[in-house]
Amino acid sequence: MDKKEYTVEELKNKIDRSRLPKHVAIIMDGNGRWASKRFLPRNFGHQEGMERVIEIVGAASNLGIKHLSLYAFSTENWKRPLDEIQGLMKILVQYIRRELDKLHRNNVKINIMGDINKLPELAKNEVERAVKTTCKNTGMILNIGLNYGGRDEIITGIKNILKDVEMGKISIDDIDENTFKSYLYTCDQPDPDLLIRPSGELRLSNFMLYQVAYTEFWFSDILWPDFTEKHLLLSILDYQKRNRRFGGI
C-alpha cells in the first residue's frame, strides 16, 4: 500500500471483487493485552473483542466473502484462570442471543469447529441453537472455533476414518486428500486463502494446521479489539497483490 490514508469506502473501491479470497481465517488475539494496557480486567478486552467480531462478520458478509473462520476458544484456553473462562462463556452466550436473529436474516450459516460437549451447559445449548437455526442458510459460512485445536481435529479425523474402515464404509485405498478433508470440521469448504493474525504474534497457535498448507498469512501488531473493517480491507488488498503458485512457477 502507498502511504495515503484511505477511507473504508475508498478501500472497498480498490478491491478487485473478482479476486476475493473465498475463505478468510482469523486468529483473534490480543484482548487481554488490550485490557491490561488500559488497567482493566482481561474480560473487558474480551467484551470489546466481541464488538469486533460483530463488525468483521458483517463486513466480510457484505463484501462477499463466502467462508469466514474465527478462532474463539482453543483446547489450550482451558488453562486460563476460571473467572476468565467463565467470562468468555458468558460473552459467547451474549453474542449468540444478541446476534443470532441478524445472522439468520442475513443468511449466514454457523458451523462449529471443535468439541462443544466440554462447554458449560448453557453455552453448549446456545451454540446448538445457533447451528440449528442457521443450518439451512445458503450465504456466508461462519466457522467458529470453540474448544478447537488443529492437532485435535486431525487426530479426531483419523479416529473417525479408522471407525469407518472397520465398519466397511470405506477402504484404506479410498483414503486420499479429499477423503481426509471430509473428516475435518471444514468438510466441503475450501481451505483458507488468507489467514489474519493481529496482536504482533507470528505463529499459528494450533489453528487449522491441515487446512493452511498454502494459505497466505497477514500479520499485524494491532490488538484484536482495535481491528476494524478497514484492517480487513487492507489485508485483502495485500492478499490480492500476491502471486499464489501452489508449488508451481
Cα of 168 vs its chain's centroid, Å: 34
Select which of 2, 13, 29, 115 is catalytic. 29
Given the residues 77, 106, 125, 137, the one annotated as active site: 77
Do the beta carbons of residue 210 and residue 150 sit within 8 Å?
A: yes
Q: Smallest Cα–Cα separation from 24: which of 229, 200, 182, 245? A: 229
161, 180 in Cβ contact below 8 A? yes
Which runs of E-coded beta strand occur in 95-232? 109-113, 141-148, 194-197, 216-219
Is 29 catalytic? The answer is yes
Report the C-alpha gap between 122 and 204 in whole angstroms. 29
Asked about 77 being catalytic, the answer comes back as yes
Q: Which residues are catalytic?
A: 29, 77
